[in-house]
Chains A and B, each alone.
Chain A
Amino acid sequence: MNTNLLDVKNLCTYFYTDEGVVYALDGVSFSVKKGETLGIVGESGSGKSVAALSVMRLVQTPPGKIVSGEVLMNGENLLKLSGKEMRAVRGGKIAMIFQEPMTALNPVYTIGSQIMESPRIHRGLSRRQARRVAIEMLEKVGIPLPEKRVDDYPHQLSGGMRQRAMIAIALCCNPELLICDEPTTALDVTIQAQILELINDLKKEMNTSVLMITHDLGVVAQVSENVLVMYASKVMEYGGVKEVFTDPCHPYTKALLESMPAVESGRERLHVIEGMVPSLSNRPEGCLFHPRCERRMEICKTLRPELIMAPAGRWVRCWLYASGPRTLGSIERG
């Protein structure tokens, strides 16, 4: 019955720093179906990268700690696995691509040897077999002359080529889930499009599910079926990409969409969301977004809304859609 590859339930990840507890991820739930792409969007500091690292259990401990929740992969809770079992998952069933391909690649090893590492760990391949895999993967991700490039060092490749190599590293063990953490942010616009296309193509070819983490709504629109909008450690809105983007429910989603430059819309001025993302160690009371919200109501200042199913058929965390207090809001709006 459950066709979900990944079910994240009520995940909480906190960082215990000298300045206090930072609630980086607070009760986040989402799921990814087989072959589906879920986009997680949010401004920097919204906790979206921590979500990715928490799924991989790569949050640096200390100061970080996954406090509660479940990460179910094919029904198995990854948070309950031993260190050794988890290592078998990382790079095997779940692989990850990072934002900055220059620093994410080890400067003192060749591209080839860095691709070969996963197949040697997870598939027990010999050096020679792994090298063949590396060359195949380089070809697959569209790097010309893979037999030669396999012996290149990261600094000898361009940014786009490096990210392609990174993708080759991630996909060389046929992972069921690929987590991309801002994979195109550090790249030129033209290269960005190529990389996204490559990820999309490979996803279809290998029937991989993708978790696409980005601040760029355009990227989400281009590659994902579903989208999760995060704000200050919590999910604000969660649903199908088309629905959310054409008819956003949450005022924050709306504001985000309006702040996006869109060529065809002909809007003259970009909308700017007033204020700043709240500090995650000192969050406002009530709705986390209320200090910046244009449709703020009295209740928003004191009571934190729950994630509820809005009439539009998707999950929203906003008092506007709660039946009871909604009247309160209507009164205020007069």
Chain B
Amino acid sequence: MDFLLLKFILNRLWQAVVVLVGVTLIVFVMVNVAPGDPVAVMMEKKADAATIERIRQQMGLNDPLYVQYWTFLKNSFSGDFGNSYFQKLPVRALLARGFAVTGSIAVGVLLFSIAVGILMGILAAVFRGRSADRLIMLVSTLGMALPSFWLAIILQLVFGLWLKVLPISGLKSFKAYILPSVALGMIYAASLARLTRTNMLDALNQDYVRTARSKGAGETAVVVVHAFRNAAIPILTYLGTLMKSILGGSVLVETVFAINGLGRLLVDGIMKRDIPVIQGCTIYIAAVFVLMNLVIDLVYGLIDPRIRAAKES
């Protein structure tokens, strides 16, 4: 059994590597298709043609494309994306700094959306058809239509400018995390609430829930232990997509709340055509997502014995 599990893990790892190579290829192609000479951008129009040509030679930009890609691929896998044209720092350092910031926001968003979304979803399922259910569904339907950047501005307006209870920019205190987490987390909390409700309703209608009741289990145990554990399986798969969306959506709240995270790094890089930064950010974020999915796949197998069996065989 352990051998099969190992085989399953190795197989998933191999798939992940293939996808990551593809990701570097996509990024490489896009950057090469983009108009403008990177060296000219880098020199900020201060250099003459001869100098530009010399630097091109140095950077290997005159090599055939496949050689360039090979170098790029090797560097990407070792985490070396070169230096930023403008900040004169290794992209790796910028990424590390940005990721620490974005990661902390992502944790806030994830905590908010999971706590609120799953709790609301469970409540709605338990009180299905009653007013609590209807209210939760109404709010979540609305929540799914709220663009995070606009909600962020409204929250700034209400809690920052009118009520003056929460900071409207930066991440200096714990309180500063509240608005970005809610602004970006609202849409995910809403969709998690709906997803949880659907799956909980399904689980609560299963025979095994009746069996649990027939054993004399309390209502909390029935809902949490018996129904939710089953409903959690599809929710868990959704968390991978959720993390990806949070990493992406972070750029919007980072912009509104003036936070220098990964998203801002990428957008600034794009505005300035700072190619190493663009490459670094995109590959880094995609890699995080691919690895996260890998982890979720493995955890998935641990939670659901049937999946484990299916994958082992």
Contact = CB atoms under 8 A, between A and B. Distances in A.
Is there direct touching of A and B in the complex, by C-beta distance under 8 Å? yes
Interface string A97-109: 0101001111111
Nearest to B205: A60
A104 B216 contact: no
Given A153-B306, A155-B309, A104 B207 contact: yes
Given A103-B208, A155-B309, A169-B211, A108 B303 contact: yes
Contacts of B208: 103-107
B211 A89 contact: no
A225 B207 CA distance: 29
A108 B215 contact: no
A326 to B, nearest CB: 44
A192 to B, nearest CB: 19
A56 interface: yes
Which of B208, B211, B217, B233 has the most C-beta atoms of chain A within 10 angstroms of its own C-beta?
Answer: B211
Given A98-B207, A100-B207, A107 B306 contact: yes
B29 to A, nearest CB: 44
B219 to A, nearest CB: 8
Interface in B178-229: 206-208, 210-219, 226, 229
Given A98-B211, A107-B208, A155-B305, 19 more contacts: A58-B213, A87-B217, A91-B214, A95-B214, A96-B211, A96-B214, A98-B207, A100-B207, A104-B207, A104-B210, A104-B211, A107-B305, A107-B306, A108-B229, A108-B230, A108-B233, A118-B216, A153-B309, A155-B306
Contacts of B229: 106, 108-109
B268 interface: no
Contacts of A122: 216
The 7 closest A-B pairs by CB, nearest first: A91-B216, A91-B215, A103-B207, A90-B216, A106-B208, A153-B305, A96-B214
B97 to A, nearest CB: 41
Given A108-B229, A153-B306, A155-B309, A103 B206 contact: yes
Given A107-B306, A108-B305, A155-B305, A117 B217 contact: yes
B37 interface: no
Interface in A109-138: 109, 114, 117-118, 121-122
A117 B215 contact: yes
A273 interface: no
Nearest to B229: A108
A169 B208 CA distance: 12
A166 B211 CA distance: 9
B44 interface: no
Nearest to A115: B215
Interface of B: 129, 206-208, 210-219, 226, 229-230, 233, 303-306, 309
Which of B207, B215, B303, B309 has the most C-beta atoms of chain A within 10 angstroms of its own C-beta?
Answer: B215
Nearest to B214: A96
A320 to B, nearest CB: 39
Nearest to B308: A153
B228 to A, nearest CB: 10
B217 A106 contact: no
Given A100-B207, A155-B306, A155-B309, A106 B215 contact: no
- Interface of B (DSSP majority class): helix
B212 A58 contact: no
A106 B211 contact: yes
29 contacts: A58-B210, A58-B214, A83-B219, A87-B216, A90-B215, A91-B214, A91-B216, A92-B216, A95-B214, A104-B210, A104-B211, A106-B208, A106-B211, A106-B229, A106-B230, A107-B305, A108-B229, A108-B233, A114-B211, A117-B212, A121-B215, A121-B217, A153-B305, A153-B306, A153-B309, A155-B305, A155-B309, A166-B211, A169-B211
Nearest to A83: B219
Nearest to A117: B215
Interface in A11-59: 56, 58
B211 A105 contact: yes
A118 B211 contact: no
Nearest to B218: A87
Contacts of B129: 62
A127 to B, nearest CB: 14
Contacts of B233: 108
A90 B213 contact: yes
Nearest to B206: A103
Interface string A238-250: 0000000000000
A89 B305 CA distance: 32
B216 A106 contact: no
A249 to B, nearest CB: 34
A206 B304 CA distance: 36
A117 B213 CA distance: 11
A59 to B, nearest CB: 10
Contact of A118 (B207, B215, B219): B215
A97 B51 CA distance: 85
A88 interface: yes
Nearest to B209: A106
A117 B222 CA distance: 11
Contact of B215 (A62, A83, A169): A169
B252 to A, nearest CB: 37
